[in-house]
Amino acid sequence: MRLGSQIAVLALVGGAAALGWSQWTRVAPVLAQVPGFGFLAAKPSTGSRQGQPGGGGPVLVEVATLATGAIVETTEAVGTIRAYESVALTAKVSGIVDRISFEEGQSVKAGDELVRLDVAERRADLEAARAAIATARAKREETMQKLQRALALRQTGAGTEAQVADLTAQVKTAETDVVAAEARERSAAARLDDLILRAPFEGRVGLRQVSLGAAVDSKVTITTLDDISRMRLDFAVPETLIARIAVGSPVAAESVAFPGRAFSGTVSVIDTRIDTVTRAARVTAVIPNPDQALKPGMFMTVRLRVATRENAVLAPEEAIVAEGPRQIAFRVRDGRVERRVVTIGQRQDGKVEILDGLAAGDVIVVRGVQRVRQGVPVQTRPAFGPPGSAPAAGSVPPPGPDRKA
């Protein structure tokens, strides 16, 4: 009985409160007209101000008109610089270093003498070969003179045919001896030249590894020679991009040693094979190096151009909103917002390529995308443009010093 009494009392109190509020809502508007009771009048909601998303007025946004432009599609890789031509110089034969004709780091031309070994013995061999040539030629001349006298005697009847035939054979033998002696001279000259180390191409020599009087052979590196007037840049490209690059494609490379500087070149060679482990092909580009800033072995970051599209539809990056896996843009048409799902492509210099969902000439919201939704009315003003440019039709001017957005 006690619980039932409490429930009855609560029900009675609630009914009285409801009846009192019902009567109050009827009386309050009447009392609000009586002097001194104006505070009972209803106050407008703060969310009904024009330009706010919770109000009835249009939302103020900044817009841009989509235009077309060129998009350069690139891929990035890492690579290593090497000299266009490079060789470790060694002697062809064993010998003692007799003369060093270069300075470390010196630029040399093809054929310049770099190192000379002791040539005394080889020079003596060359002189002996030349003496043998002189002897063979003298013997040939003597034999030819005898043959001429024998021919003259045969015409007078004093000489014999056998004597003429014998001297003719001796002349042929003498000719053979001269040819053999000349060959031995060329061989001696070549062996002498082997003792002189010359630059095989134009370039810059490296550090010297030997000194005067050192014994060297073909296994001892004397110095290095590099042609660094232009450089080879080796890097790898995924097999998915092989069909999109070709010899002559432009590349740009950067090094941490030269911040802000880009080195330009072109693809010179594409490997004929794909690595079965990395599924990439080796590509070599040639980069001019007139100031010789690049050094062999440097690490480079490479940007390779794989495609260029001249009439791509471009939109400001800030106008595209990520919504899960989708990309959203808000198009403005007839003063209202349309929510569009777009497909984007390459990004470049603050712009993003629109592959699908929008077209050139469409007006989209750039700033204020957080305050709009499908169907919301908007007031627009240009997001970009020169100072003093006129706003788009149906838009409001940007705020001035005495005007608030």
Q: What is the 3-state secondary structure (H, E, C) of 103-164?
A: CCCCEECCCCEEEEECCHHHHHHHHHHHHHHHHHHHHHHHHHHHHHHHHHHHHHCCCCHHHH
256, 277, 308 - which closes a domain: 308
Pairing of strands 363-367, 351-356: unpaired
CA angle 228, 233, 237 (to 5 degrees): 175
Residue 120 and residue 197 share a domain = yes
The structure tokens listed for 344 are 């984007």
257 occurs within a structural domain: yes
Residue 369 and residue 326 share a domain = yes
Residue 235 and residue 189 share a domain = no
Residue 97 and residue 12 share a domain = no
Residue 191 and residue 152 share a domain = yes
Residue 92 and residue 185 share a domain = yes
E-assigned strand segments in 292-384: 299-316, 321-323, 326-333, 336-348, 351-356, 363-367, 378-382
Residue 53 and residue 39 share a domain = no
Range of the domain at 287: 78-82+227-308
Here the CATH number for the domain that contains residue 57 is 2.40.420.20
Residue 240 and residue 175 share a domain = no
For residue 285, pLDDT beyond 90: yes
pLDDT tens per residue, range 324-374: 889 999 999 988 999 999 999 888 888 898 999 999 999 999 998 888 888
212 occurs within a structural domain: no
| Average pLDDT over all residues of the chain | 81
**Sole residue written with tokens 């060297």:** 216
Q: According to the model, what pLDDT value does residue 405 have?
A: 35
326 occurs within a structural domain: yes
Residue 398 and residue 342 share a domain = yes
Instruction: For residue 156, name the pLDDT band (cuts at 50, 70, 90).
Output: confident
178 occurs within a structural domain: yes
Q: According to the model, what pLDDT value does residue 147 have?
A: 82
- Helices 120-156 and 161-193: crossing angle in degrees, nearest 10, is 160
107 occurs within a structural domain: yes
Instruction: For residue 3, name the pLDDT band (cuts at 50, 70, 90).
Output: low
| Contact in structure between 58 and 371 (CB atoms under 8 Å) | no
Helix ranges (DSSP H) in 157-265: 161-193
Pairing of strands 299-316, 280-288: unpaired
Instruction: For residue 7, name the pLDDT band (cuts at 50, 70, 90).
Output: low
Q: According to the model, what pLDDT value does residue 1 have?
A: 46
For residue 284, pLDDT beyond 90: yes
- CB neighbours of residue 62 within 10 Å: 20
Residue 265 and residue 358 share a domain = no
For the chain, what is the domain count?
4
Spatial separation of the C-alpha atoms in residues 95 and 117, rounded to whole Å:
6
Residue 404 and residue 327 share a domain = yes
